[in-house]
Structures are given as C-alpha cells and as structure tokens.
C-alpha cells in the first residue's frame, strides 16, 4: 500500500512541470457534435443509417491505411445505433442502447482516459459500448418493463493515461462544453436524464454539473471532480460516488496545485456525495455483470435511489 502511494505521488510530482504547461495551453479543439435529431422513429432511423454509412466508410479507410485495430472496432460498430459519429482524430461517437422514442429516462455514460474509436468496444465492459450493454441488461433484469435508453457517449477527446493532460482539466472542460448541449436537448424533450461518469469522465461531469437538468450524477473510480464539494457543484441532482476496493485510483493524491489534480475525493464524507457499494473490483470492473457496482448503477439509472445499497 505504501509503495503504491509513493509511486502515485512520485508520478504526479514528476508530471508537475509538463502538466502545468498543458494546463495553461489550450487543449486541441474538437469538432462540434451533430445537431440533435427530431425524436421520431423516421428521424432517428435516418440518423442511425447515415452514421452507419459514415462508420462503414471510416472502417474502409482505416483498413486501407493498415490500422487493423481501428478497422475491426469500426466494423463492430456498424450495426449499432449511433446518434453521433466523427472519425477525425481519435474520433467522437454516441451510441444509443434502447428506444429513444419510447424512453422516459436517459442515462449518459461518460468515459475516462484512453478512450477512442479504437477502444469504443474492444475492452469488454470497460469500453463505452460494453458498459452500456451491460447496464441495459442489468436494468432489464431489475425492471423488465423499464423505459430506459442509454447513450454510450464519447463526445470529447479523452487524454492519454500516460500524458500530462490526464492530470489537468483542459480536456474535461471541452468535454463538459460538449456534454451540456446534449443534456439540455434531452431535457427539453421531456426525458429525465442522469450521468454515470467513470474515472477522468467524472472530471467532465463535475465541470458540466452546474445547473444542468439531470436527476442523478454518479461517479466511479473518480480522481476528483474539479470541485470541492457537492454544494460547490451548484446542482439539484443526487450526487453519488462509488469505488472498488482494488481500484488503484484511491492512491492518487487528491490535491489541486498549479493546475495539477482535481481536488477533494468524492468518496470523502466531507465532499457530500451519497456513497454506494461498488464491491471489491478494480478500476475497470464497475460494469462487470453480476457485481454489486453494476446493480447499484442500474438502480441509479432507473431512478430508484431507495434500492441503492451502501
């Protein structure tokens, strides 16, 4: 335990100079998301078909360039429902699990570092697509008649885990700017919206939270949310936090210094979040089927806070 903490602190200290430089430079701009379509079967089917064609074209381009991993990932995405897709750079994508025309609740999964089109569905339940599918299956198990849709959202350029940017909030700020319009559009259409945010994605959610029309914000494996407390988030949402007993993120120093770090640990009682049981798993285990973490996340997504176990 002491060795892991020393390694974490040493790595953070070694990144200070580079990280603070990254903090004051603007992050790489990202493309704007596609306009939100009308929530009719015809309009959604047209969007899904158009994005499927874009994915197919991007897969062919990746194959021609010799990027086998990306080509394989894109091939696996072609038959799914994407409400947004952009192949430029590391790529942007938003996949819909379920039926938006009949849903009453929508949960958005916000991923963390090292997530791109190449890893969108290649890491099992640790990938946005795999996590969303596992969540949908668990929600159906708990409530077969639910009216829930899930969006696996890769709407920002996530930082590399080994880059200085992962210790600053520059990419998170851009992610928050992209997340807010999606949430606002869904809320305007009458959905109850919640956010499930993993790792660096919890920084995105913390930056986006102020006055956002969501019912719940749940973070797992969080390094901090770039805010000092739930009160400082200026949200009426229920704010939840969970962490697996084997998650290495607990050894990351919860500090903010010269643009480095994300402040208070959401698991700290002083932060004010509702703590929920997340089991014994590690940083990539939160959506693993059969685990207490997935069950509690599903209850949060379903809007059933009383069923969440502490």
Here the tokens at position 162 are 């080994």
The pLDDT value given to residue 94:
97
The pLDDT value given to residue 263:
87
The pLDDT value given to residue 4:
40
Q: CB under 8 Å to 101, separation ≥6 — which residues? A: 39, 40, 41, 44
Burial of 211 (0-12, 13-18, 19+ CB in 10 A): exposed
The pLDDT value given to residue 32:
60
3-state secondary structure 42-73: HHHHHHHHHHHHHHHHHHHHHHHCCCHHHHHH
Task: For residues 56 and 64, give the distance between their C-alpha atoms in angstroms, rounded to a whole number.
Answer: 12
Query: Tens digit of pLDDT for each residue in 106-133?
Result: 999 999 999 999 999 999 999 999 999 9
For the chain of 310 residues, list the mean pLDDT of each consecutive stretch of 10: 38 37 38 77 96 97 96 94 93 96 97 95 94 98 97 95 82 95 95 98 97 98 96 97 97 78 92 98 97 98 97
Residue 15, phi then psi, degrees to nearest 5: -95, 0
Q: Which residue has the tokens 């790595």?
A: 11
The pLDDT value given to residue 91:
92
Contacts of range 186-190, beta carbons closer than 8 Å, 24 or more positions apart: 186/36, 186/106, 187/213, 187/214, 189/39
Query: Tens digit of pLDDT for each residue in 288-299?
Result: 999 999 999 999
Topology of domain 2-307 in CATH is Rossmann fold (3.40.50)
Judge whether 291 and 285 are in contact, CB under 8 Å. yes
3-state secondary structure of 109: strand
3-state secondary structure of 83: strand
Distance in angstroms between the alpha carbons of the first and the last residue of the chain: 24
The pLDDT value given to residue 167:
82
Count CA atoms within 13 Å of residue 48 on its CB side: 17
Prediction pTM value = 0.89
Task: For residues 239 and 225, give the distance between their C-alpha atoms in angstroms, rounded to a whole number.
Answer: 11
Cα angle 239-106-98, degrees, rounded to a multiple of 5? 140
Judge whether 273 and 266 are in contact, CB under 8 Å. yes
Task: For residues 194 and 217, give the distance between their C-alpha atoms in angstroms, rounded to a whole number.
Answer: 6
């Amino acid at each position: 335990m002491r060795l892991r903490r020393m390694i974490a602190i040493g790595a953070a200290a070694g990144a200070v100079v580079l990280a603070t430089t990254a903090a004051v430079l603007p992050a790489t701009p990202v493309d704007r998301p596609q306009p939100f379509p009308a929530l009719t079967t015809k309009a959604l089917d047209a969007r899904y078909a158009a994005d499927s064609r874009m994915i197919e074209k991007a897969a062919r381009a990746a194959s021609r360039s010799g990027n086998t991993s990306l080509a394989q990932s894109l091939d696996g995405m072609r038959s799914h429902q994407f409400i947004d897709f952009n192949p430029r750079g590391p790529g942007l994508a938003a996949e819909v699990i379920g039926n938006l025309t009949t849903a009453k609740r929508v949960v958005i999964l916000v991923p963390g570092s090292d997530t791109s089109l190449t890893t969108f569905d290649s890491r099992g339940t640790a990938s946005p697509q795999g996590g969303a599918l596992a969540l949908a299956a668990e929600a159906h198990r708990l409530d077969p008649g639910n009216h829930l849709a899930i969006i696996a959202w890769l709407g920002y350029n996530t930082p590399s885990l080994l880059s200085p940017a992962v210790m600053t909030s520059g990419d998170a700020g851009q992610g928050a700017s992209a997340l807010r319009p999606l949430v606002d559009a869904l809320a305007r259409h009458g959905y109850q919206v919640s956010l499930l945010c993993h790792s660096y994605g919890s920084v995105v959610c913390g930056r986006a939270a102020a006055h956002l029309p969501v019912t719940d914000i749940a973070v797992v494996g969080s390094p901090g949310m770039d805010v000092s407390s739930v009160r400082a988030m200026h949200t009426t949402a229920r704010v939840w936090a969970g962490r697996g007993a084997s998650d290495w993120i607990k050894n990351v120093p919860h500090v903010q210094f010269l643009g480095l770090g994300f402040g208070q640990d959401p698991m700290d009682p002083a932060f004010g979040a509702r703590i929920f049981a997340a089991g014994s798993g590690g940083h990539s285990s939160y959506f693993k089927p059969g685990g207490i973490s997935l069950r509690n996340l599903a209850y949060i997504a379903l809007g059933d806070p009383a069923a969440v176990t502490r």
